[in-house]
Amino acid sequence: MFTQRLLPLALVATGLAPLAPLAHAAELRVLTHDSFELPKPLIAQFEKQSGVKLSIIKAGDAGAMVNKLILTKANPIADVAYGIDNSLVGKAAAAGVIEPYAPAGKAVQNLPNGVVSVDYGYVTLNIDKAWFAKHGKPLPTSLDALTTPVYKDLLVMPNPATSSPGLAFLSANVQSMGEDKAFAFWGKLRDNGVKVAKGWSEAYYTDFSRNGGSRPIVVSYATSPAAEVFYSKTKLTESPTANLNLPGGVFQQVEGAALIKGGGERVAARQFIDYLRSVPVQQALQTTMWMYPVNPAAAIDPVFRHADKPAGVKPADSQAIAARGQQWVARWTRVVLKGGQ
């Protein structure tokens, strides 16, 4: 192909040829979102057992990663992908980038369309405990309470158009209230001063009152209070933040791995998915990626007792998100950022 020749030529011309990737005998290309992290010895162990070299490629957050998979469908850039969650699985399946795989073994959460669940977690509101204690305010008991003057200018969330937790929170609202009620709620929330940040990091580190900002309520993860203890500077016995699990304000996220249609190294790719579900990885991922394991044999890390696990939350409806997600984001942008209806 012309373009395939053009690039190497240009690279030779610019003196970069020695850096071009060399063909490895067996290399498994794993596409992941940016949050993927496992201890190095565990990865080395897999390489040793399977005899392939892992080439981990980070492709932005989960939403951007799935779109990159879809765009390169004709020439897959990976053999296996990790990080496709229940809000994206419908889109990925509809675009035909997934080769179904069903491993043996039980899981506490599952995904449709031949994507193998690996871990799960919750997107929910987090509060700054010290702020609420200092200001003597009661905690809101419903999402609607957030639209009242008591909670004016207290909430920050990442933009659903540029952040997966933002989109997850919006999806939870819509699925619980129905579209019309949900967007009426967002209109009121806009008038009550909700702040929209670009991504989770911006919201958590520059707007959340626990860090640089002034807002004591932030859209984050249910495991964040546990992570606050794990990554605290002085040994904490109690988390400085807490979950605020409100009805319609909790999104259950199930993340999974999938074989990529047209990818190579099928045997190793299946082995990798099985490995992600193995007990050592399931135990490790809890404190590297801050998700709950789907393998019931994996023990829950003690630090997770600081995370108040939301109960009775139904997994999100993947089909509805795949079909309507884009319209929700467009309407949310219209209501919250453009000030429309």
Partner 1 sequence: MGGALDPRSAQGRAVINRFDPKRMALTLLPLAFLAVVVVAPLSRLLAEGWDHLSANILTDAYLRWRIVWSLIQAAVTCMLTLLLGLPLAWALARFDFAGRTLVLRLLMLPFVMPTLVAGLGVLAPAGPHGVLPINGQDTPWLLLYGNLFYNLPLVLRAGVDGFAAVPASRLAAARSLGATPWRAFWRVEWPAVRPWLASALCLVFLYCFSGFGLALLLGGQRYATVDVEIYSLVAYELNLGDAGALALAMMAITGAAALGYAWVEKRLAAPGRVEPIAPRRPATLAEWSWLAVALAMLIAFSGAPLLAVLGCALAAGPEAWAVLVEPDTLAALANSGRFSLIALALASVVGVAHALIASRSLWLRGAVFLPFVVSPVCVAFGLLLLYPSWTASLALLLSAYALFAYPFIAKAIAAALDALPASQPQAAQSLGATPWRAFWRVSWPWLLPAFRRGLAFAAATTVGEFAVTLFLSRPEWMTLTTLIYQRLGRPGAANLAEALVLSALLMLFALAAFVLIEWPTPLERARRALATRPPAATELPHA
- Give the binding site for partner 1 (CB under 8 A): 3-4, 6-7, 10-11, 13-17, 19-21, 29, 34-35, 37, 55-60, 63-64, 67-68, 70-72, 74-77, 159, 161-162, 195-198, 200-202, 204-207, 209, 211-214, 220-221, 224, 227-228, 230-233, 241, 290, 326, 329, 334, 337-338
Q: Which is nearer to partner 1, 74 or 102 (CB)?
A: 74
Q: Which is nearer to partner 1, 107 or 125 (CB)?
A: 125
Q: Which is nearer to partner 1, 107 or 207 (CB)?
A: 207
Q: Which helix (H) or strand (E) holds 249?
A: none
Least CB distance to partner 1 at residue 296 (A): 26
Q: Which amino acid is at 78?
A: A
Q: Which is nearer to partner 1, 74 or 104 (CB)?
A: 74
Q: Which is nearer to partner 1, 56 or 110 (CB)?
A: 56
DSSP 35-63: T----HHHHHHHHHHH--EEEEEE-SSHH
Least CB distance to partner 1 at residue 167 (A): 8
Residue 307 contacts by C-beta under 8 Å, 6 or more apart in sequence?
Answer: 222, 223, 224, 225, 226, 243
Least CB distance to partner 1 at residue 277 (A): 21
Answer for the pair 193, 152: CB distance below 8 angstroms, yes or no.
Answer: yes
Least CB distance to partner 1 at residue 130 (A): 11
Backbone phi, psi, residue 62, to 5°:
-55, -40
> Could you give the angle at the alpha carbon of 39 between the alpha carbons of 76 and 81, nearest 5°?
15
Backbone phi, psi, residue 219, to 5°:
-80, 115
Least CB distance to partner 1 at residue 51 (A): 20
